[in-house]
Structure 1
Amino acid sequence: MKMETKEILTQVEQTWTLYRLENDQGMSVNFLNYGGIITDISVPDNDGQIENVVLRFKNYEDYISNPVFFGALVGRVAGRIKEASFYLNGQTYQLGKNERSHHLHGGQEGFHSRVWNVTPYENEQEIGAKLSLSSPAGDGGYPGNVEVEVTYILTNDNRFIIDYKAETDEVTPLTLTNHAYFNLSGGAKRTIDNHVCLIDSTKIAELDEELIPTGEWLDVNNTPFDFQNKKELKNVFTNETTQQKVASGGMDHYFKFNGEKESAIHLEDPESGRTLDVTTDQPGVVIYTSNSLPEGIKLLEGEARRHVGICLETQSSPASLHEKGFPDVLLSPENPYHKRTVFSFGKRR
């Protein structure tokens, strides 16, 4: 196993560091200290060809605005907070609005736009890096001083692990995730339409026209959102339903896990043979199928297009700040935050 670093000088006179983790099987993970942004995960296909399976910008400078959160660590709160406000312990907190009247993924200056401290490490079983960040009280409008540590870990059996920890001195909302867009075809040469997916979930959060949960749970059985058994993603793209239309022709929904299957999520690309299994101790996941990427975004592999990637945003639900019956996002001094998501890459047998 090995680690390499490279300095990236941006046009706005910021210098970032690009880290590359590589295991003994040839799998590698590249990420920036800026935003903890994952720019490359390269894994072999059935023929042993190693290619990148996440979307990345052609130009590093585009990560400064990064309106679609490519590859970024997202916080303090992943997801949408209705009307950019919440009520806690007798006080209303007002947050920055960055999607209509709502607060999305920590706001304009969330964790995705910070330079993280990075400490690399290596042992016999794995290679990795600890990314740390201090978020002071009032940051983005949130209460409490928060210390965050996220560890990226690459193992020799082609598992990429993201371990999240956080502590606070005051009760505050927090749920962290990574916003990588996966495309197992390699080099985004095809859309994800023919990717086969399984999600261990029978319930999704109903969304209104602005993608805010209504407070109701919908049963996925016998709907296009039913991925309890393996099926192609295009099934949800081509079957028009109210919820599919709300999400601009795909998924942008919170799925609550059943906890019944070995993997919370399974994804595979039949043509390349690459597979991805996701296990996590998070209660659910937002599945976003890049239904509305802005036109003209320049990827390393060409211009972005609809359904070119899928985000697997394991997390709790910020809807819990306004609605009952949703996984809680409140962090307290007595109960530090510790969550882990494992991405296991393999090949179809």
Structure 2
Amino acid sequence: METSRRTVLAAAAAAGVTAAAASTSHAANATSATNSTKGRTPVKELFGRLTDGTKVYRWTLENGDTRMKVLSYGGIVQSLELPDRHGRYANVSLGFDNLEDYLTATTFFGATIGRYGNRIAGGRFTLDGTTHRLSVNDGENSLHGGAEGFDKRVWDVEPFTNASGAGLRLHYVSADGEMGYPGTLRVRVTYTLDRRGDWRIGYAATTDRPTVVNLTNHAYYNLAGEGSGDILGHELRLAASRYTPTGKGLIPTGELARVAGTPFDFRHAKTIGADIRTAHEQLTTAKGYDHNFVLDKGVTARPEHAATLRDPESGRTMRIATTEPGVQFYSGNFLDGTLTGPSGRIYRQSDGLCLETQHFPDSPNQPSFPSTVLRPGETYRSTTVHSFSAR
């Protein structure tokens, strides 16, 4: 039902540190979080300029034991710093230390994705009898909103602190026809870092014409630390008994296949490398995992558990709860050694992974999938919460 699509709640978060805060001890951070009812005031600095002179800013936030830096360009999470079991911090999100690399890369590191997360077959869909042709940027398909999706836009950013924490409200107006999508879409994405250090992302959008919407965040995680090597030893659990197999161009076939007895069974935690080299047609086609997992909970009014990721070496653990019905697990298959991160080390295959909460890929062309249609008078809402610990 389309109306069930709108039941998801909007929320918000982002965090990071100033240079001075970066030297603050783990114990001092914990004391600050205990003694204050608010997160630290977000700090703004110039990060760079686009070729037309448009300024791009970086916002630094911190709360609990979590630190985060966010760019106004693409709503990109440039870094996410977490302590290990010994209180030692590391940036666990892949990215770049300069704007130029973000402008040219096609990896979507840390970006807000829209209007439509994931692929739409043939770069087209039909809604209410009208066929809309989209920007094609992945073979014959449209990926993550097209060649200039939300990840390539400069967002208006409003910082805030309140009793719940500290964060940013990012605003963008997508014009009617942008990348081929109908309707003027007014979007608000809210990043909130609460007192526990949980990172909440809340999405909200309205339209003046019927359209489709599927927003997500495209952070690449390595809980051992950016530039530390591959994630094949990470342990992953997904609350999903089914997944959507793909065919040509990694477009879903429409089947909801059972994970039982396949390399796609993450219902109980296992290392990502345990089955990734298995001679399974789906793994061969995608060069690893790049599949939408169908969460057993479906669409929910409040965020419910979707995934748990743990690095045994550092003890860092990330738990993801969402209102969305799916999560795209991507094992960094196309990182090919051509990109260099802030650590000065190059990124190779499986040096990071994505867990993108979402509605399913190609839903506008798959009537059996949960609807992604948004109509005038409705509000798209979605919430995802990332909780962190180390033991």
Contact 2:213-2:372 at 8 Å conserved across structures: yes
2-structure distance, mates of 1:196, 1:309: 13
1-structure distance, mates of 2:158, 2:304: 32
Secondary structure in structure 2 of the residue aligned to 1:131: strand
Secondary structure in structure 1 of the residue aligned to 2:100: helix
Contact 1:198-1:265 at 8 Å conserved across structures: yes
2-structure distance, mates of 1:132, 1:222: 44
Larger RCO (alpha carbons 8 Å, 6+ apart): 2
Aligned residue number for residue 106 of structure 1: 145
- Spell out, residue by residue over 1:102-127, the C-alpha distance to the aligned partner (whole angstroms, 9 max, x if none): 10000011100000000000013300
Q: Which residue of 179, 201, 214 corresponds with 1:162?
A: 201
Contact 2:251-2:361 at 8 Å conserved across structures: no
Secondary structure in structure 2 of the residue aligned to 1:215: coil
Contact 1:58-1:298 at 8 Å conserved across structures: no
Aligned residue number for residue 125 of structure 2: 86
Q: Which residue of 21, 25, 32 corresponds with 2:61?
A: 21
Matched, 1:180 2:219: yes
Q: CA deviation at 1:154?
A: 0.3
Structure with higher helix content = 2
Q: Which residue of 312, 316, 319 corresponds with 1:270?
A: 312
2-structure distance, mates of 1:318, 1:224: 20
1-structure distance, mates of 2:385, 2:103: 27
Contact 1:93-1:142 at 8 Å conserved across structures: yes
Aligned residue number for residue 296 of structure 2: 258
1:330-341 paired onto structure 2 within 5 Å: 330-341=373-384
Structure with higher strand content = 1
Q: CA deviation at 1:10?
A: 4.0
Secondary structure in structure 2 of the residue aligned to 1:30: strand
Q: Which amino acid is 1:27 matched to?
A: T
1-structure distance, mates of 2:279, 2:99: 37
Aligned residue number for residue 151 of structure 1: 190
2-structure distance, mates of 1:139, 1:18: 26
Aligned residue number for residue 97 of structure 1: 136
Aligned residue number for residue 109 of structure 2: 70
Q: Which residue of 334, 347, 364 corresponds with 1:304?
A: 347
Contact 2:227-2:346 at 8 Å conserved across structures: no
Q: Which amino acid is 1:309 matched to?
A: G
Secondary structure in structure 2 of the residue aligned to 1:237: coil
Contact 2:90-2:225 at 8 Å conserved across structures: yes
- Spell out, residue by residue over 1:215-238, the C-alpha distance to the aligned partner (whole angstroms, 9 max, x if none): 112110011110000100002322
2-structure distance, mates of 1:58, 1:298: 9
> Aligned pair count?
346
Q: Which residue of 314, 317, 323 corresponds with 2:366?
A: 323
Q: Which amino acid is 1:305 matched to?
A: R
2-structure distance, mates of 1:320, 1:174: 10
Cα 1:304–1:323 change in 2 (3 A) is same
Secondary structure in structure 2 of the residue aligned to 1:61: helix
Structure 2: stretches of 5+ with no match in the other structure: 1-38
Runs of 4+ displaced beyond 3 Å: 10-14
2-structure distance, mates of 1:235, 1:67: 28
Cα 1:109–1:183 change in 2 (3 A) is same
Q: CA deviation at 1:11?
A: 7.2
Contact 1:236-1:244 at 8 Å conserved across structures: no
Q: CA deviation at 1:60?
A: 2.3
Aligned residue number for residue 53 of structure 1: 92
Secondary structure in structure 2 of the residue aligned to 1:299: coil
Secondary structure in structure 1 of the residue aligned to 2:260: coil
Aligned residue number for residue 235 of structure 1: 274
Q: Which residue of 28, 37, 43 corresponds with 1:4?
A: 43
RMSD: 1.5
